[in-house]
C-alpha cells in the first residue's frame, strides 16, 4: 500500500508473529535473533517493534521459527498480511 509519499517503511517485508498462548518462555528465539525478539517480564517472547523482518535477518527469523519447541513463531510473508 502506498501513501502520498510512497510505500510505508517495511511494506513488502515479512513479519514475525508469536502465538502468545503457545509461548512457554524457552527464549531460543531471543538467543538466535535478538534483533527480532525480546522477552517480557515473564520471559515470554514478543517481536521487536512491529515485527518487520529486514532482508538481512530473514535467515535468522527462519532459524528462530524452526528452533521454537512450542511452534509459537510464524514468519508471515507480506502477501499473507491483511491490513484493516
pLDDT at 79 over 90: no
Grid cell listed for 67: 528452533
Grid cell listed for 74: 510464524
pLDDT at 39 over 70: yes
pTM of the model: 0.79
CATH code of the domain containing 29: 3.30.70.20
Domain around 9: 2-80
Task: Specify the residue for cell string 535473533.
Answer: 33
Mean pLDDT in residue range 24-48: 97
Q: How many domains does the chain have?
A: 1
Question: Which residues in 1-84 belong to E strands, given as ranges?
Answer: 2-3, 6-7, 15-18, 37-39, 45-47, 73-76
Amino acid at each position: 500500500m502506498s501513501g502520498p509519499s510512497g510505500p510505508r517503511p517495511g511494506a513488502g517485508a515479512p513479519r514475525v508473529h508469536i502465538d502468545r498462548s503457545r509461548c512457554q518462555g524457552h527464549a531460543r528465539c531471543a538467543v538466535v535473533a535478538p534483533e527480532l525478539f525480546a522477552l517480557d517480564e515473564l520471559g515470554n517472547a514478543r517481536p521487536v517493534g512491529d515485527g518487520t523482518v529486514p532482508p538481512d535477518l530473514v535467515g535468522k527469523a527462519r532459524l528462530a521459527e524452526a528452533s521454537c519447541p512450542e511452534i509459537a513463531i510464524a514468519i508471515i510473508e507480506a502477501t499473507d498480511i491483511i491490513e484493516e
